[in-house]
Amino acid sequence: MLDKIEDLLNKKHLLITGKTAIERHNFIKNLISKLDFEVFHFPSNMVSYDEYLDFVKSEKLYRPWYDSKIYNGNQILDFHWDWIAENNSLVILEEIEWMEKSWKIELLRIYLNEIENRKKGEKKIHLIISQTNENGLINELSEVINIREGEKRTRKQIIEQNLKLIHLE
């Protein structure tokens, strides 16, 4: 099963649901032990934008294109979006159901847009998220995802094509 999921991760982001938080964490831990990605594992149960930003700062997950003694949060976030667009790493966000809803949806929208807009063979960010259950997340994301002009797929089809739901039983 892990081999199939490893192959999936090269094409899609993963949403891991089911079982307990500890079992989801162990499943993700086993999966990433087999992968050859640079991994950035955000703290579990993040609630706020500030917690996400603090981790981005501590791990230097941004590349400023100009020198300054200090950067404010908005600048760091702008640089971080560029880092996401140019990176080939694995980002793990566990137990995201506790995150502020508007911030969580915006963050996931950015990750999903990156994988949707990549051309074959280009570097891409990989994302694993987990929460207790799907809980309407796919529908919420389908309301905010960017859609290209002339796109024939529905917004929900775009989300489902880029985010694979793995329900552990």
What is the predicted pLDDT for the residue at 65? 83
Topology adopted by domain 2-133+142-168 = Rossmann fold (3.40.50)
d(CA 114, CA 118): 6
What is the predicted pLDDT for the residue at 11? 85
Residue type at 41 in one-letter notation: H
What is the predicted pLDDT for the residue at 68? 86
Per-residue model confidence as pLDDT tens for the chain (169 residues): 788 898 888 889 999 999 999 999 999 999 999 888 999 999 998 999 999 999 999 999 998 888 888 888 889 999 999 999 888 899 999 999 999 999 999 999 999 988 887 776 677 889 999 999 999 999 999 999 988 899 999 999 999 999 999 999 9
d(CA 109, CA 150): 20
Question: What residue ranges do the domains of the chain occupy?
Answer: 2-133+142-168
**Tokens linked to 66:** 């100009």
